[in-house]
């Protein structure tokens, strides 16, 4: 069956590790502008102002930085069952059912060949705003409190893997994801691949690991309503001493307006805006970028900076990345 | 099965009637900023710069204004077959297969109880930009020529019907559409209903017909990447003598930033921006607005102007609407 | 001498009265986004993030709302002396030298024929940002903390007077102000007049008092860098229960993008953006708007709402304005 | 007298040389978005949509690129006379009175020590829009036709000189200009200096000539109302094959949001937006940037690209600049 499968509804949340928990939490709340939904001994549960679930970022105290797990929500109990069956029938590593974080019901965990842990679930906890976070407009999940950069919702994440082609097989097999754009290197390998499970242009990207490491995170991204909010965020990051790595500028790939910073522990975090762009075509064919294309730089000519190719979290011991 | 059915991929195009064809065409090309894909004896085929199909607006010479037909594209041949079967099994009026416009293959036509003609199809003609419309970025459908208001893609349309509840049954039965928001009147009727077949917040709205007419159009809308483009468009409309009916402002319902104008023949046309808002929840529950809610006006307090409740196309003979 | 006189450099600050001091102060700091420079028994001294002087708003506890005094800074000690001489030589009411607020040196006070108190001074206190308000960029006066609407600088104020022509004589005589735009009523009176002492399009406007009162304030306005910040502010006002009177929209007169709200005590406050518009011509001739022009509404057609013609502060006893 | 002099009202126009006249003219009209006011055998006279004079750019056929002359308008006939007297009394080179371009009356010409020709005049030709360029709003100079990047008004230019300190003496002596910001190099020289004659943050900048040439132009800049228009212009430049040199980004110096491109003949042209920033303080003290400050890059960290230090027009024979 070649038609879109949509068993998976959307990227649901990312667990980020930090070895500077207090500084990271302060950054995400007061500078990046997320809201704390809940907190336990190890983790804080955070959300953007219009995320409909309890949390979209689980920030966890850890001896390293990087990504804990990546969660997607299924479209229905039946769709979840179909996905679990497909994963179990595959050659990818199954971890099995777990009880789930405070923000959702039981989840099925599995792993990509590069050590990233994924989970899928259906039962969830929709955010019930407490009195002080209740919005004036009933179609919003939460109050527009306008603190810090204040993005609207989780958008996507970017993982690193040694073999993007193999990662693509994982995403297609396990999540039924579609490839919307990709980089075809002159050496025949895929340099990067952008995936979606719905009408978003992408919710997960995978680019080549150049540090010889495994299970690393490249970045996590939230979406703003406007490009102006990203320009404004740049001033906020500047004033708060946050390391701005690159941007604001517009990606050639996907056309996303972007800004990359490093949160206090070193994890790369992005703010992005895709304008009105959606992938509506059910038979969308991946856009293929060659090395020649890539030499033109980003959409308006900005050269990709070196650390973008080398910095991932956790960092690779003994390598200078910044 | 309560899970989302996505048999229908997206709203594909709208046929608009005009009794001032040359003036309307000039407006859509030079002021609104669409591109002509093709033209025949009766119609011009128009598109926004990032619509992926041949056309999204069919502008047709006619003795009246209003809407000719509304087209949705199915997700696959199998999904199209499922939808056709569902429509044929229903009590709604079937027109049957037609050859289809230049921009797509054969289409299955049917009618809502209020006289609006719908069609669904799968086979399509993706836009192949001629040399002078070829974009610099390979992930775009067309050159960003920046002429006039220049919206990015078709967004939605709004129809009028005497019984919104019955229209809702039509949309759910025939298209598998979901309701994302609605107006519940004190008299028990639905005052309006917003539908989506994918992750967009809505692609079709239906509001109550107050003129005693049938098969009327309220408006057709294209999406811009930014709110700033809508503010800029207001200046363009002003300078070109276009009747600005209301806006720019932000709707309470759906939170869309809007601007409504009348094209030269009188059809209402909107530019809109939804920011990063999407309906990602597969189990989204419709937001219900009461008359009390509506009395607060639009999001920032603007009162809905009278003509918005009375003007549709074609106009009702003998009624003053402007 | 018909050449521009620039003895006066700019509008410096406005003293606003409030009979709900705590609520007003909370609004100006946490919602409107100003910063407290200092506070004494009766007043708080507030500033926008790029105002170069100590304060631009003096918020004073009072048994009424309205305006306390209006201050302009002179271009030099000599220019100040020239202005004082001109005022003393005129038939306008002189109050005389006062010691001045904490934010500046001695000031010369005088009064317009409608009871508004003005002052001019040269010696000032430039803002010395304390450690927690020190900006990263050395050409800024203060940190971009991004709290609330967070306008950049004081822009203008609008006073009410029973005789705008006489008020114009006052502004030209005492401040050497130029008229940039004005409303010429069919009855021969001036309906409104916009004044500038520098390259700004206006720093003070006067419109007709329709309530039979004297010394009233219509509104005080701060400028934002972008129109997007005003759209964003509308959401902030909405969420904070602030009464949005009208806007965002674009004025026909002066072309300013505007948003009017009432602070908790009832004083009207505006956020405005003029884009790149300046009055550079030294021989600028006032733009004259007739009643016929005004009937077209604001730039994009919005009708001026009734309260805009009736509400001033303090309110007129026994009149319903909202 | 240390008070601001304001004998000079504003930067009036720049004459740009091009050795590809037809391509340059097409660029300025159809891509950059200026309007032709008039044309003669050697030159086209161009203007932005809200420039109040006949023209602000004189584009002249020439065997080189670069700048022909730079014109400022005086505040009054008396102010013009004062400036002429000051220039004649100085040691700077006087050229004398010339009849003036079509857009203004007789002008007094003089030269800086690096070969740039300046002129000052008072009598001018205010733009009288022909029928097809007449605006709907009577306070605008011209119709908002929205063609290409479509900036609002002339903003500033940047010249190169071997001795910025000497250039500063020229600007202060001849034009009564004020320095708002400057770069102090470790070697004791000025690396750059930003001047204003009114409330604009700058209308002329001078940076060090590194090519051993004289009388060269670094760039000419027009102002847009919003930053969004600059982002949009980047897409327009991209689609039209225009070389984007750097940006969009925000300068640390002056805080201007910028985008630099090269017009077809190679002259650097900028679009810029300063938000609501003005120099209102009559006793503004120059902001001094050190080499250490400059090493932080632009406001959000972008490194200044090499060609920005080397490319000027006309190019220096035998040097590779791009």
pLDDT in tens, B7-61: 999 999 999 999 999 999 999 999 999 999 999 999 999 999 999 999 999 999 9
Q: Which of chain A's residues have a Cβ under 8 Å away from the Cβ of D228? A: 227-228
Supply the mean pLDDT for chain C.
Answer: 95
Which residue from A minimizes the CA distance to C233? Answer: A146
For chain B, give the percent of residues with pLDDT over 70: 97
Q: Kindly report the nearest CA distance between residue B194 and chain D, in angstroms.
A: 30
pTM for the model stands at 0.97
For CA atoms D220, D226, D230, D233, the dihedral sign is negative
Inter-chain contact D239–B135, Cβ cutoff 8 Å? Answer: yes
Task: Mark yes or no for CB contact B234/C250 under 8 Å.
Answer: yes
Residues of D in contact with C103 (CB under 8 A): none
DSSP string, C222-260: EE-S-HHHHHHHHHHHHHTT-EEEEEEEE-SSTT-EEEE
Give the 3-state DSSP-derived string for B214-270, with helices as H, strands as E and coil as C: CCCEEEEEEECCCCHHHHHHHHHHHHCCCEEEEEEEECCCCCCEEEEEECCCCCEEE
The answer to whether the beta carbons of residues C113 and D275 sit under 8 Å apart is: no
Q: Enumerate residues 153 to 172 of chain A having a beta carbon within 8 A of any beta carbon in chain B.
A: 153, 155
pLDDT for position B319: 63
B211-270 pLDDT, tens digit per residue, is 999 999 999 999 999 999 999 999 999 999 999 999 999 999 999 999 999 999 999 999
Contact at CB, D143 and B238, closer than 8 angstroms: no
In this predicted structure, the answer to whether residue A8 has a pLDDT above a threshold of 80 is: yes
In this predicted structure, the answer to whether residue A322 has a pLDDT above a threshold of 60 is no
Over residues A257-309, the pLDDT tens digits come to 999 999 999 999 999 999 999 999 999 999 999 999 999 999 999 998 899 99
| pLDDT value of residue B320 | 54
CB pairs under 8 A between B and C: 41
- The whole-number pLDDT of residue A100 equals 82
Cα–Cα nearest to D8, from D72, D78, D97, D91: D72
C285 reaches A (C-beta below 8 A): no
D-chain CB neighbours of B146 within 8 Å are 146, 148, 232, 235-236, 239
| C227-239 vs B228-239: helix crossing angle, rounded to 10 | 120
Q: Give residue C2's pLDDT band: very low, low, confident or very high (50, 70, 90).
A: very low
| B290 part of contact set with chain A, CB < 8 Å | no
- Domains and their CATH numbers in chain D: 8-310 (3.10.180.10)
Chain C hits for A136, CB-CB cut-off 8 Å, are 238-239, 241
Separation in Å, CA A242 to CA A225, C9, C141, C296? 22, 37, 20, 49
> Is a pLDDT exceeding 90 seen at residue B286?
yes
* Residue of B139, B198, B200 with shortest CB distance to A254: B139
> Which pLDDT does position A90 carry in this prediction?
98
Radius of gyration of chain A (CA): 19
The number of beta carbons lying within 10 Å of the beta carbon of residue D20 is 15
Query: Do C137 and A229 make contact, defined as CB atoms within 8 angstroms?
Result: no
Q: Is D131 on the interface with B (CB under 8 A)?
A: no
**Rounded Cα–Cα distance for residues A207 and A194 (Å):** 9
CA distance D111 to chain A (A): 37
- The pLDDT of residue B150 is 98
DSSP A234-256: HHHHHHTT-EEEEEEEE-SSTT-
Q: How far apart are CA B293 and CA A210, in angstroms?
A: 55
Average pLDDT over residues B295-309: 93
pLDDT at position C41 is 94
A54 and A37 in contact (C-beta within 8 Å)?
yes
Question: Measured between CB atoms, does C135 come within 8 Å of chain D?
Answer: no
Nearest to C299 among B238, B249, B299 (CB): B238
The ipTM is 0.96
Report the C-alpha gap between B300 and B298 in whole angstroms: 6
Lookup result for tokens 């024979």? D317
In chain C, which among 4-23 make CB contacts under 8 A with chain D?
4, 6, 9-10
pLDDT at site D2:
37
Neighbouring chains of C at 3+ CB pairs under 8 Å are A, B, D
Whole-angstrom CA distances from D241 to C66, D37, D257, D268 are 56, 26, 22, 15
Q: Does A308 touch chain B (CB under 8 A)?
A: no
Mean pLDDT of A93-98: 98
Mean predicted lDDT score pLDDT of chain B: 95
First vs last Cα of chain D: how many Å apart? 46
Distance (Å, whole) CA C17 – CA C211: 19
**Could you give phi then psi for residue A72, rounded to 5 degrees?**
-120, 145
Among chain A residues, CA nearest to D257: A231
CA distance A318 to chain B (A): 38
Chain B interface includes C234 (CB < 8 A): yes
Interface residue C139 vs chain D (CB under 8 A): yes
Q: Compute the average pLDDT of residues B118-129.
A: 96
The whole-angstrom separation of Cα A128 and Cα A131 is: 9
**Cβ contact D282–C1 (<8 Å):** no
Interface contact flag, A239 C148, Cβ < 8 Å: no
Chain-centroid distance, C-alpha B171:
14
Q: Is the pLDDT of residue C1 over 60?
A: no
Q: At what angle do helices D164-175 and D77-89 cross, to 10 degrees?
A: 140
C300·B234 Cβ contact <8 A: yes
Neighboring chain C residues of D199 at a CB cutoff of 8 Å: 198-200, 278
**Encoded tokens for A82:** 């179909």
Q: Sort out which chain B residues have CB atoms less than 8 A from A255's CB and list them.
A: 137, 139-140
Q: CB-based contact (8 Å) between A137 and chain B?
A: yes
Terminal CA-CA length for chain A: 46
Residue D227, CA atoms < 13 Å, CB-side half-sphere: 27
Nearest-CB residue to C78 (from D3, D9, D153): D3
**Could you read off the pLDDT of A203-262 as tens digits, one per residue?**
999 999 999 999 999 999 999 999 999 999 999 999 999 999 999 999 999 999 999 999
d(Cα D244, Cα A298) in Å, to the nearest integer?
A: 11
DSSP strands (E only) in chain D:
8-18, 35-39, 43-47, 57-61, 66-74, 93-98, 107-111, 117-121, 153-161, 178-184, 190-196, 204-208, 217-223, 243-250, 257-262, 268-273, 287-290
Q: What is the pLDDT along chain D (322 residues), one digit of tens a residue?
A: 334 458 999 999 999 999 999 999 999 999 999 999 999 999 999 999 999 999 999 999 999 999 999 999 999 999 999 999 999 999 999 999 999 889 999 999 999 999 999 999 999 999 999 999 999 999 999 999 999 999 999 999 999 999 999 999 999 999 999 999 999 999 999 999 999 999 999 999 999 999 999 999 999 999 999 999 999 999 999 999 999 999 999 999 999 999 999 999 999 999 999 999 999 999 999 999 999 999 999 999 999 889 999 999 999 976 655 4
CA torsion, points A210, A213, A217, A218, in degrees to nearest 10?
-10
The residue written with tokens 């391509």 in the block is D23
Q: Which residues contact A63 (CB under 8 A, 6 or more apart)?
A: A19
> Any CB–CB contact under 8 A between C134 and chain A?
no
Residue B3: band (very low, low, confident or very high) from pLDDT cuts 50, 70, 90: very low
Determine the pLDDT at residue A3: 41
Residues B203-214: what's their mean pLDDT? Answer: 96
**Taking 70 as the threshold, does the pLDDT of residue C34 lie above it?**
yes
How far away is chain D from the Cα of C44, in angstroms, using its nearest Cα? 23
Say yes or no to pLDDT of A47 above 70: yes
Element (H, E) at B111: strand B107-111
The tokens for A79 are: 């769709």
Asked if C249 lies within 8 A of B248 by C-beta distance, the reply is yes
Q: Is the peptide bond before C61 cis (omega within 30 degrees of 0)?
A: no
For residue D242, the chain B residues in CB contact (below 8 A) are none
D136 touches chain B (CB under 8 A): yes
pLDDT score for C5: 52
Q: Do D229 and B232 touch (CB under 8 A)?
A: yes
Under the banding of pLDDT at 50, 70 and 90, the label for residue B1 is very low
């Amino acid at each position: 069956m070649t038609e879109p499968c949509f068993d998976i509804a959307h990227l649901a949340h990312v667990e980020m590790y930090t070895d500077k928990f207090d500084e990271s939490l302060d950054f995400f709340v007061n500078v990046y502008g997320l809201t704390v939904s809940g907190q336990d001994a190890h983790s804080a549960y955070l959300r953007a102002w219009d995320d409909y679930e309890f949390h979209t970022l689980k920030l966890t105290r850890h001896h390293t930085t990087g990504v804990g797990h990546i969660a997607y929500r299924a479209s229905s109990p039946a769709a979840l069952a179909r996905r679990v069956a497909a994963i179990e029938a595959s050659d990818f590593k199954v971890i099995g059912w777990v009880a789930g974080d405070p923000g959702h019901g039981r989840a099925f965990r599995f792993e990509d060949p590069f050590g990233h842990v994924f989970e899928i679930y259906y039962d969830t906890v929709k955010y019930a705003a407490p009195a002080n976070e209740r919005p004036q407009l009933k179609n919003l999940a939460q109050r527009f409190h306008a603190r810090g950069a204040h993005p609207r919702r989780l958008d996507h994440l970017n993982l690193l893997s040694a073999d993007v082609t193999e990662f693509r097989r994982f995403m297609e097999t396990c999540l039924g994801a579609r490839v919307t754009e990709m980089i075809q290197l002159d050496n025949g390998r895929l340099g990067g691949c952008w995936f979606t499970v719905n009408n978003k242009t992408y919710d997960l990207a995978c680019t080549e690991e150049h540090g010889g490491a495994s299970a690393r995170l490249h970045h996590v991204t939230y979406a703003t309503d406007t490009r102006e909010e990203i320009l404004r965020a740049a001033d906020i990051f500047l004033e708060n001493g946050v390391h701005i790595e690159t941007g604001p500028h517009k990606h050639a790939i996907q056309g996303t307006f972007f800004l990359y910073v490093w949160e206090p522990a070193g994890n790369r975090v992005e703010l992005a805006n895709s304008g009105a762009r959606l992938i509506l075509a059910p038979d969308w064919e991946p856009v293929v970028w060659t090395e020649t294309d890539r030499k033109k730089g980003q959409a308006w000519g900005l050269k990709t900076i070196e650390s973008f190719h080398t910095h991932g979290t956790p960092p690779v011991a003994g390598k200078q990345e910044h």
